[in-house]
Amino acid sequence: MSKEREKTWRSASNAFSHEENRRARLDAFFERFSELVRPVDLKTVSTMGVGDFGMVATVPDLEKLRELVLFCRTIELAWLPLGGASNCLFPDGILGAVLVRLGEPFEEISLEDGLVVCGAGASAAKLLNFSLANDLGGLEILAGLPGTVGGALAGNAGAKDAGLADLAAEIEAVGTDGLPRTLRRGEFKSGYRFLGLPPELEGSVVTRCRLELPRARREETSSKVAELLAARRRSQPMGARSLGCVFKNPPGRSAGELIDLCGLKGREVGGARISPVHANFIVNLGGASSKDVLELAGLARESVLKTHGVVLSLEIKALDRRGRLLFW
């Protein structure tokens, strides 16, 4: 661990000097896993460019991941899996939790017994390209998605009502007890932007999956990918810095349309704006804070409830400084 990195870590720890227990936990983690940890400006990690300072621990293998998870549990230090940070709103101020990123061995993709075996650290784009190269279909729903396979599984990301978890025959995960488990179809549930794991795996990190994909000619799937990308470019602010859709679509309705009908397209708070292209996107105009984004999201949610009587639920993962999810 370089002196500069250690100095940065100590600065983060000192930010919680008024919370001695949290500071002690951060220090203990640093001492144990200093070779894995690096300080990060979260603005450079987030696809939206929002956040402050955090610590990222990159785990090289399953055993080190298990060791880290168990240690965090023992000292009661919050940790969160970090994928592509494409739907995670980091807080303003130093993040007092550890972000865990899967290393290169978790990015491998192969074919085994007719199933695609994919590490959770692989990008959604890499998995899509692998399927095209092997004349497999079904993954055109990942076209244009910037995150990792683990994140796409956890949120069942995809297009319209289809998601990646719907195609999974097996999902492997490490629970908060540090134990690896393999779940077969029927042992987990998937739905619209939802992956349901057994209670003992709540808060776990997905490490790998096996996907059952149909055979499909590369040309046909490539055509579907092109159509989906073109549709995204027409209807979404593809070049802007955002976290994708802020809210889940309520049953039978479009969250973006409901927000648009409230007259909120183009509304700004600080450096954040509700996109004039798609009202379910909040974009960073430059210098946006988490507070700006949450204020706009809260305005949209309140307006839709008041005008349409519909409650919108967050699709993005918004964090407080302790690493806790803000649930709406």
Task: Please report whether residue 228 resides in a domain.
Answer: no
Domain shared by 98 and 136, yes or no: no
Note whether 252 and 167 are same-domain residues.
no
Reading the block at residue 263, the tokens are 């007259």
CATH number at residue 215: 3.30.465.10
The model carries a pTM of 0.87
Are 121 and 197 in a shared domain?
yes
If asked whether residues 216 and 267 sit together in one domain, one would say: no
Give CA–CA dist 177/172, Å, rounded. Answer: 14
Among the three residues 57, 78, 102, which one is the final residue of a domain in this structure? 102
Q: What is the domain-level CATH number for residue 307?
A: 3.90.78.10
**Which of 102, 129, 150 is the last residue in one of the domains?**
102
Does residue 282 fall inside a structural domain? yes
CATH number at residue 52: 3.30.43.10
Task: For residue 324, tell me if it sits in a domain.
Answer: no
Counted domains in the chain: 3
Tell whether 77 and 156 lie within a shared domain: no
pLDDT in tens, 85-115: 889 999 998 898 899 999 999 999 999 999 9
> Is residue 16 assigned to a domain?
yes
pLDDT for residue 203: 84
d(Cα 276, Cα 264) in Å, to the nearest integer?
A: 9
Q: Is there a single domain that holds both residue 109 and residue 203?
A: yes
Same domain, 96 and 114: no
User: Do strands 162-163 and 158-159 pair parallel, antiparallel, or not at all (unpaired)?
Assistant: antiparallel
Query: Residue 47's domain spans which residues?
Result: 3-102
93 in the same domain as 7: yes
In a domain, 257, yes or no: yes
The residues carrying an active-site annotation are: 193, 245, 315
Q: What is the DSSP letter of 317?
A: E
- The DSSP-derived string for 36-76 is TEEEEEGGGTSTT----EEEEEEE-SHHHHHHHHHHHHHHT
Dig out the tokens for 299 from the structure. 């305005």
304 located within any domain: yes
SS3 125: helix
Q: Which of 102, 117, 143 is at the close of a domain?
A: 102
| 310 in any annotated domain | yes
* HEC readout, 236-277: CCCCCCEEEECECCCCCCCHHHHHHHCCCCCCEECCEEECCC
Please check whether residues 114 and 59 belong to one and the same domain: no
Structure confidence by residue, pLDDT tens digits, 160-194: 888 999 999 999 999 989 999 999 999 999 998 88
Give the pLDDT confidence score for residue 8 in this predicted structure: 59
Same domain flag for 98 and 109: no
- The C-alpha angle with vertex 48 and arms to 311 and 16, in degrees rounded to 5, equals 90
Q: What is the pLDDT of residue 5?
A: 56
Q: Could you tell me if residue 311 is inside a domain?
A: yes
20-33 vs 62-75: helix crossing angle, rounded to 10: 160
**Residues 88 and 18 placed together within one structural domain of the fold:** yes
Specify the pLDDT at position 96.
Answer: 86
Verify that 129 and 208 share a domain, yes or no. yes
Amino acid 20: pLDDT: 64
Averages of pLDDT over each 10 residues, the chain, 328 residues: 58 58 81 91 94 93 96 91 91 91 96 96 96 96 92 90 94 93 94 88 92 95 93 90 95 96 98 98 96 97 97 94 83
